[in-house]
């Protein structure tokens, strides 16, 4: 803990951690909502705009927020003196890795969907592959969001910490 600069105090770290958590979860929930709504509309033009925007939002908001969450989380652990072998930390990390394992295919699917729509000729119906990928994408979101709620609960209540 002594090796951290004094200006990097607990309150600053926690503030940055909470803001990045808000960006991470909020962006995820927002893009999820708009992608589902657009995909159920069958409006190809709306889907083109939405998929491109969702991919962009992941690069601009989600990816940096994941990195900031990880770094500030570790720094907060140091500030609080919580062991990296504590059941609490191991549970948080397991959920973090689980959500990440769901998010990586989601990002790949979003890029594939965006590219499928870019190449779709005007007036053509949505291909079966598009619909199949959207169902997989949506299905990956449910456990990811539920796990996110679990992480929030662990951050607030910190069970198993003496």
pTM for the model stands at: 0.87
pLDDT of residue 148: 92
Q: Report the range of poorest mean pLDDT among 78-82, 90-94, 114-118, 158-162.
A: 158-162
Q: Report the range of poorest mean pLDDT among 7-11, 61-65, 99-103, 142-146.
A: 7-11
Tokens linked to 17: 């951690």
**1 pLDDT more than 80:** no
pLDDT of residue 162: 52
Residue range 115-140, pLDDT digits in tens: 999 999 988 999 999 999 999 999 99
Tokens linked to 22: 């808000």
**79 pLDDT more than 70:** yes
**19 pLDDT more than 70:** yes
Residues 135-153, mean pLDDT to the nearest whole number: 95
Q: What percent of the chain has pLDDT over 70?
A: 98
d(CA 59, CA 56): 5
d(CA 147, CA 47): 27
Q: For residue 2, what pLDDT band results from cuts at 50, 70 and 90?
A: low
């Amino acid at each position: 803990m002594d090796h951290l600069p004094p200006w990097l105090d607990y309150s600053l770290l926690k503030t940055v951690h909470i803001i990045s958590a808000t960006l991470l979860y909020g962006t995820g929930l927002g893009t999820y909502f708009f992608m589902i709504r657009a995909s159920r509309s069958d409006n190809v033009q709306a889907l083109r705009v939405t998929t491109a925007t969702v991919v962009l939002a992941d690069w601009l908001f989600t990816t940096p927020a994941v990195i900031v969450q990880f770094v500030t989380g570790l720094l907060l652990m140091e500030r609080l003196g919580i062991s990296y072998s504590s059941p609490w930390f191991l549970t948080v990390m397991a959920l973090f890795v689980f959500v990440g394992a769901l998010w990586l295919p989601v990002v790949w699917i979003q890029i594939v969907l965006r590219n499928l729509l870019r190449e779709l000729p005007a007036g053509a119906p949505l291909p079966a592959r598009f619909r199949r990928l959207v169902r997989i994408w949506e299905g990956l979101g449910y456990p990811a969001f539920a796990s996110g709620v679990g992480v929030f609960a662990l951050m607030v209540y910190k069970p198993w910490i003496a």
